[in-house]
Amino acid sequence: MNAATPSTIGRPTNWRDVFSSGPIAPLPALALVGAVVAWVGALVGAIVVLLPGAPLARPELVFAAAAGAAVLGAALALARARAGQAGLHAAMFVGTLLGTLGVLGWGSEHAFGPLGYAWVVVAAFVFFPAWQSLLHVASVAVVYALAMVFDRGSVAWNAWFATVTALAGAGAIVTLARVRATALLQQLEEAAGRDPLTGLANRRSLQDAFDIELERARRTGRPLAVLLVDIDRFKRVNDRCGHQCGDEVLRTLARVLQASKRGFDLAARHGGEEFVLLAPDCDEHGAYMLAERLRTAVERAFADHQAGPVTVSIGAAVHPVHGQTFEALLNAADEAMYAAKKLGRNRTVISSAEIERAAELDVTAGGRVELAALVDLAEAVDMATIGNTSHCQRVARFAELAARETGLPAHRVEQVRLAALLHDVGTIAIPDEIERKKGPLTYEEWEFVRAHPVVGARMLEVTEHRELGRWVRAHHEHLDGSGYPDGLSGADVPLEARIIAVAEAYEAMTSDRPYRPRLTHREAVAELRSAAGQRFDTEVVEALVRALG
C-alpha cells in the first residue's frame, strides 16, 4: 500500500472503471444471489397470477414464467460451486426468455409486460462489466421485438424504444453506483491499513505485506531486509517544542522515508517514533546503503527545522541470515537499532553475531565498563574475520613498543595501546559479504571499508576516552594527505594515530594473508622505510625498528 495513493472520494468516475470492472464477488456467491433473484421473480409472478382482477391476456404464460424462474433459481443454487461466467450468462439469457413469456402473458401492448426484463438487466449490470451487460440489453431488445411481432404482427417502435432505453438507463445507473461503491470500499480499506498521522502503512498492513514478500523470498531465494528506524531523543523534541511540533517531525520523517526508499519498498509506522522499511531483494550490503541514504536524508531534512537537529538510529536485519519470520527479523533489527543507540546514535548497525556485545554497552555505567565491552567487541570482530584475536592484540603490542620508544609518558602509552586494540572496531559496520569477498572491491564496497575509522571513532565518543576516537579516526591518514577519511597531512595527523598506522602496517606485513605469505622482519622494515616520509612518520618507523631490535 502506498500512502500517496490518490483518494477516490470526490473524484469523477473514470469511464475505464465503468467498462473494465469485473464481477463484484466470487462467482459461486453471484450464482446464489442470482438464485434468490429468480425466486423473488417467481414469487412476484405467482402473486400476479393469483391476485383477482389482473388484466392478463394469458395467465398461464405468466404462471409458466414464474415456474421457470423457480426452476432456474434452484438450478443456480445447486450448481453454484461449479458456476462460471459462461453459466451465469446462460442463466441471464434464460431469464430473458422467461421475461418474454411474461410479456406475452400480459400482452405485448401492456405497459407492465416488459417489467420482467428489468430483473435480468439490473442483475446483469450488477454482476458483470458494462460491456457484457450491454450484450444482455441487446438480447432483450431483439427478443422483445420478436415477442411484439409474434403477439401483434408488428413492432410498436415507440414502446420498444422507450422500454429498451429505460432498461439501458437503469443499467447505467446501477453500474455507476456499483463502481462508486467499490471505490469507496477500496478507500475505506486503504484507510484501515494506513497510519492516520503520517499516511504510511500501519502495523497490520506491514504484517500483510511481509507475509507476501516472505513467501516470494522463500520461493525465489532472494533476500528480504527489514530496517527499523527510531528517532533519537524524540521525547526531548516533544518537551522542547510541544506535541504538535512532534507530530510534524513524524510527518516530515514519513515524507523523507517515502522519498528515500526504492519504489517497491514499503514504509510503515510501527508505533510511536519507530518506523519500519520493508525492502525486498535487498541483502546486507544493500540494506546498509539504503539505511545510510535514509539516515543522511533525515539529517539534511531537519538541519533547519523548528524542532532543531533530528537524527535517527537504524537497525537492519536480512532474511534468511538473521531470521525466518517477521518477529525474528524485527527482533534482530531491534537489537541492532538498540546497539546503534548505545554506540552514539545517528548511525546504522547491521545485525550480526556481535550485536549482543555491542548492545551491552552501558553509557551510564562509566567509561571503564564501556571500554571493556568495546575491547570484547573488537576481539569478536577479529574472531569473525580471521578466526582468532591475534590481529588487534599484536597491533596493540607493536603500538605500545613504538609509543614507549618515542618517549611518550606512561599514561599516554597505555592510551595508545588501548586505541590500537580498538583501531578496527568500526569494521563491525562492514557487511559480512564484503569482509568475505575474495575479488576486488567495487567503489561502493570500498566506501564501506573507508568508513570504518569514522564508525570506530563514533563508538569511542560514548566513553570517557573520547580522545582515543580521534586517533582511531585518523589511523588511516597519510603524511602526504593521500589517506582517509579526512585527507589529513603532516602535523595535522595526531602522533598517536601515526603510531597506530605504523604498528598496523608492520603487523599486516608480518602475518600470513590469503593473497600472500608473511614478510620477514627485515623485509617488513624495508617496506616501512620505503614509505616513510610519505605514508608513514619516519621517526615512528625508526622507533618501532629500534624497539623490535
Give the active site residues. 273
Give the whole-angstrom CA distance, residue 506 versus residue 518. Answer: 10
| Contact criterion met (CB below 8 Å) for 282 and 223 | yes
Give the whole-angstrom CA distance, residue 4 versus residue 505. Answer: 53
- Please give the backbone phi and psi of residue 383, each rounded to the nearest 5 degrees, phi first: -60, -40
The residue among 262, 243, 244, 181 whose CA lies nearest residue 17 is: 181
Instruction: Give the DSSP letter of residue 82.
Output: G
How would you classify the pairing of strands 348-350 and 224-231? Answer: unpaired
Q: Any idea what the Cα angle at residue 143 is, between residues 113 and 78, rounded to 5°? A: 85
Q: Cell numbers 460451486 correspond to what residue? A: 81
Give the whole-angstrom CA distance, residue 212 versus residue 95. Answer: 42
Radius of gyration from C-alpha coordinates of the chain: 38
HEC string of 123-187 equals HHHHHCCHHHHHHHHHHHHHHHHHHHHHHHCCCCHHHHHHHHHHHHHHHHHHHHHHHHHHHHHHH
The residue among 145, 147, 136 whose CA lies nearest residue 90 is: 136
How would you classify the pairing of strands 312-319 and 224-231? Answer: antiparallel
Q: Is the peptide bond before 409 cis (omega within 30 degrees of 0)?
A: no
Which residues make beta-bridge pairs with 314?
Answer: 229, 348
Q: How many CB atoms lie within 10 A of CB 13?
A: 15
- What torsion do the CA atoms of 126, 127, 129, 131 make, to the nearest 10 degrees? -80
Give the whole-angstrom CA distance, residue 228 versus residue 414. Answer: 38
Long-range own/partner contacts, residues 521-525 (CB < 8 A, 24 or more apart)? 521/548
Q: Any idea what the Cα angle at residue 393 is, between residues 389 and 396, rounded to 5°? A: 155
Q: Any idea what the Cα angle at residue 179 is, between residues 178 and 183, rounded to 5°? A: 115
